[in-house]
Copies of this chain bind each other. A is one copy, B any other.
Amino acid sequence: MTDLTLAFDDNEYLPAVAQDAASGEVLMLAYVTEEALEKTRETGYAHYYSRSRDELWKKGGTSGHTQEIEEVRVDCDGDALLYLVDQSGGACHTGYESCFYRTVDGEEVGKQVFDPDDVY
């Protein structure tokens, strides 16, 4: 197996979708650099790149809500990644299991699994 060519964008980012490998729930969308992807594959834990803080970060580094990697997939044109993960705690800093806890109409449909005041 050879690694596929990845189409990082002009800023050297690729979007990565994290999905709970067990429940199938889509947890979050964040960005990776080549270095963040390497760290992810090397350590077996999801790493991303914060575009606002301009730094590599390990998911759960502060909260303990890590994402253990089961598989990393790439899409047909190599410009998006899918992380299949085993999520500890909740993925969202708001305490919800998934960052996608609301419909676009503002209705809450997600499940809160921790109290952010206890964690951060």
Contact = CB atoms under 8 A, between A and B. Distances in A.
Interface of A: 1-4, 6, 15, 17, 19, 23-26, 28-29, 37, 41, 71-77, 80-82, 92-94, 96, 99-107, 109
Copies of this chain present: 2
Chain A at the B interface: mostly helix, strand, loop or mixed?
loop
A43 to B, nearest CB: 15
Contacts of A99: 75-77, 80
A6 B80 CA distance: 21
A113 to B, nearest CB: 14
A97 to B, nearest CB: 12
A44 B59 CA distance: 34
Given A41-B104, A102-B74, A29 B4 contact: no
A26 B15 contact: no
A26 B82 contact: yes
